[in-house]
Amino acid sequence: MKLAVAAVLAAASLFGADPVSWRVEEPPAKPVKRGARFTAKVVAKIQPGWHIYGLKPAADGPIPTRLWVAEGQRVQLAAPVVGTDPQTMLDASFNMEVQLYEGEAAFTLPLKLTAAAAPGALKVVVNASFQSCDNKICLPPKTVRLEVPVTAAK
């Protein structure tokens, strides 16, 4: 086990920064009324040779990508997160077909501003949990925090 941990740490130091970077695109351009639905788009940029897994969990399979709104906010998910269509391929490490993303993956979060939201600027915290792998190793699972700017209407 110590050897496996050392290999992952060595690989992480060889590659420097995480091979996946995240950004928020297309936050709502206009103020959102309390109780109204809106969407936010979150994009993962994946370095060549690396991938992250799809949103759908697989029994005894890899760790799926997951996005959610952090608790304690005046915004909630209004429906399941939708991602661009993943590739389906045989993963030799798991000896099964898996869904994965390479290059770039976009996720749309259908959100709803609660009736309790005060008017004004909000920073909605969205978490993205994922595991990045190449054809030899997987880095430890990671969760990143993203902020979606939203203005609650008066």
Q: What is the CATH number of the domain that holds 34?
A: 2.60.40.1250
Domain that includes residue 80, residue range: 2-152
Q: pLDDT, tens digit, for every residue of 25-78?
A: 989 999 999 999 999 999 999 999 999 999 999 888 899 999 999 999 999 999
Distance (Å, whole) CA 136 – CA 152: 46
Q: Within 10 A of 13 (CB to CB), how many other CB atoms are there?
A: 8
Sequence-ordered strand ranges (E) for 7-103: 20-25, 37-46, 51-53, 66-69, 75-77, 82-83, 87-91, 96-101
Helix (H) or strand (E) holding 4: helix 2-15
For the whole model, what pTM was predicted? 0.86
Number of domains composing the chain: 1
